[in-house]
A and B are shown apart, each in its own frame.
Chain A
Amino acid sequence: MEDQHIPSSPNQLDNFFNIVFDDAIRSQIRSAASWARICALCAFISAGIGFVVALFARPSATLDTDGGGVSSLVRTTTILSAFISGAISVFINYWLYRFATSTTKGMDAMDSVKTNEGFNDLRTYFKILGVILIIVLSFVALGVLVFLISLGTRR
């Protein structure tokens, strides 16, 4: 009976950390979430504008010399790349928007489930950015390698 451990306060329960979301921290997180929402919304609108600009942009006059063959190829490539980059941007920022929404709800309702959901969305956002960065760095490393090999074969 004496060995039985009874937690004296909720802080000592195993499931909880000794960190609380007090007034000051909740205000900081709310502010971070509001700005994160602004970032996400700006990114959504920018992606749409980028696509519209690519769709309606006039091809360069210098590309029209061969009867429009190169021009239409460049136009299609521009539209396709704008669509792909816009889709990636929307996909990434969707998680940022979710973070903003869930965390604000969690902070307002003092709901740890919603707050955890929000931070989990932030984790996914950073994770996707990290994976994209790894892919880009791999391509850069590959490019540098190919460049060095081509330099070596020329000598």
Chain B
Amino acid sequence: MENNQQESLLQFHVDYDGGNILRETVRWSRFLSIVWIIGIALGALVFVLAGSAILAAFSTMSPVLGGLASMGGVIVVVICLIVFAVAGYVVFMLYRFSTLTRKAVDQQDQALFAEGMKCLKVYFIINGVIAGLSLLFSLLSIAKLFHS
């Protein structure tokens, strides 16, 4: 009895407003994830069908891409596969957060809610790492600008 009381002191419930807010949140996140999944799939398809032509066209504009093309097709394909895989995983986590949280709120299921929040955490962890890396590249570009 005492244990139950202690446990209830260490937790609080999702209220009616919270449930509605979560439903609305996952509606938008599901829309975003579905559009991104379609976008990534289309991007992968375009890369598979016209990858070499796109690289050849870009290599005339950007020396970096030209260098990548000269490194060999395998490396370019591996880099693109990694990019598509990471993007796909991030979007999949957002989709899982949306579906699991929606189900959890509808069925009032504690385990599904925990799983949904775990997916949200993974989504933000990967996004945080990507944001940190892009910030690093931005800092490098600003350092390059003031050194030249």
Chain A interface (Cβ < 8 Å from any Cβ of B): 10-11, 14-26, 28-29, 31-33, 35-36, 38-39, 42-43, 45-46, 49-50, 52-53, 56-58, 110-112, 115-116, 119-120, 122-123, 126-127, 129-130, 133, 137
Contacts and interface: CB of A to CB of B under 8 A. Distances in A.
Contacts of A42: 128, 131-132, 134-135
Interface stretch (B55-63, B71-79, B81-89, B102-110): B102-110
Contacts of B123: 32
A19 to B, nearest CB: 4
Interface in B102-148: 104-105, 108-110, 113-114, 117-118, 120-121, 123-125, 127-128, 131-132, 134-135, 138-139, 141-142, 145-146, 148
Interface pairs A-B: 7 shortest CB-CB: A42-B131, A35-B124, A126-B28, A18-B108, A35-B128, A123-B25, A32-B121
Given A31-B121, A126-B32, A39 B128 contact: yes
Given A17-B105, A130-B31, A38 B132 contact: yes
Contacts of A57: 145
Contacts of A21: 11-14
Contacts of B121: 28-29, 31-32, 35
Contact of B142 (A23, A38, A52): A52
Contacts of B120: 28-29, 32
B127 A35 contact: yes
Among A29, A32, A115, A133, residue most surrounded by chain B Cβ atoms (within 10 Å): A32
Contact of A23 (B10, B113, B145): B10
B11 A20 contact: yes
Given A28-B121, A137-B35, A16 B22 contact: no
Contact of B19 (A17, A49, A129): A17
Contact of B25 (A25, A33, A52, A126): A126
B15 interface: yes
Interface string B20-53: 0110110011011001000000000000000000
A133 B30 CA distance: 13
Given A46-B138, A50-B138, A19 B12 contact: no
A116 B15 contact: yes
9 contacts: A21-B12, A22-B11, A32-B120, A32-B123, A35-B127, A112-B13, A115-B18, A119-B25, A129-B28
Contacts of A33: 124
Given A24-B114, A42-B128, A17 B11 contact: no
B13 A10 contact: yes
A58 B139 CA distance: 17
